[in-house]
Structures are given as C-alpha cells and as structure tokens.
Amino acid sequence: MRTISLIFLLVGALWLPSRAQQSHLDSGSTQNRPIFTVVEQQPEFPGGMNKLMQYFRTNLRYPEAARKARIQGRVFITFIVSEDGAIQQVRALKSVDPDLDAEAVRLVQSMPNWIPARQQGRSVACRYNLPVNFAL
C-alpha cells in the first residue's frame, strides 16, 4: 500500500509541473515549436525600454488622415519574439483606427531583433503584447 501511495505521489509530482508549463503556452504553439506566454526571462528590446521608447519617437509616423481627424489612442500590438529574436506574426490586438493600427503594425514589424525570452536556460519563442500610443 505504501508503494502505491509513493508511486501516485511521484507521478503527481512529475505531472503537475508539465501541466503548469503547458498552460503557459500560446494557442499557436505546436509540438515542434512551443510559443510561451509566460517565461522565466522576458524578451527584451536591445538596450531596454528606454531604447524602445526612443525607437518609437524616432520611427513613428502619425498617419495624416488620423491627424486631420484628430484621432488619438493606444493600439495594442501582439507579436512573437522568436528563438533568435526575430519579430513574427505582428497584428493589432486592440484597435483604435485602421490607419493607426496599420502604422503600429508597421512600426513593430520594422523593429530590430530583440533579445529572445529564456526558459530553463535556453532561448524560446514568446508572445509579447505592446501598447503603441498615438497622441497629438
């Protein structure tokens, strides 16, 4: 009886961490390529958040139609930072205006490679959400 209890305890100890890790995978994951949503070390823009904000200030082009219509807001962009830091599958998660959405997507797609996320000591693909503010 004691042996059976020990076996259940060991199986449970091995099963729970694997289930917990699976719950942090993106729905776009495959068996060959997991895409994490929660990682031990988040992906990072080269130089950190200050450099990311500088990149936005330098490269953001406010769409003329949105400027004339005085449209402002925050577009949330979702994308994958791949195992090698490349930006993939960029799309608007929360829309404000089609012109602002398109500019936010363009801005993120043109970013340099990031420092990839790390999980258990290795680089992994990770979904990342980023707000892009448009203010006149």
Can you spell out the DSSP letters for 70-134? T--EEEEEEEEE-TTS-EEEEEEEE-S-HHHHHHHHHHHHTSPPPBPEEETTEEEEEEEEEEEEE
For 10-24, 36-50, 56-70, 115-129, which range has the lowest pLDDT when averaged over its residues? 10-24
Task: Decide yes or no: CATH 3.30.2420 for domain 26-134.
Answer: yes
Euclidean distance between CA atoms 98 and 25, whole angstroms: 29
Euclidean distance between CA atoms 69 and 20, whole angstroms: 47
What is the average pLDDT across 109-127?
Answer: 96
- pLDDT tens for residues 6-18? 343 333 444 444 4
Euclidean distance between CA atoms 19 and 68, whole angstroms: 51
Return the ∠ at Cα 134 (arms to 46 and 61), rounded to 5°. Answer: 70
Domain boundaries, the chain: 26-134
- pLDDT tens for residues 58-98? 999 999 999 999 999 999 999 999 999 999 999 999 999 99
Q: pTM of the prediction?
A: 0.79
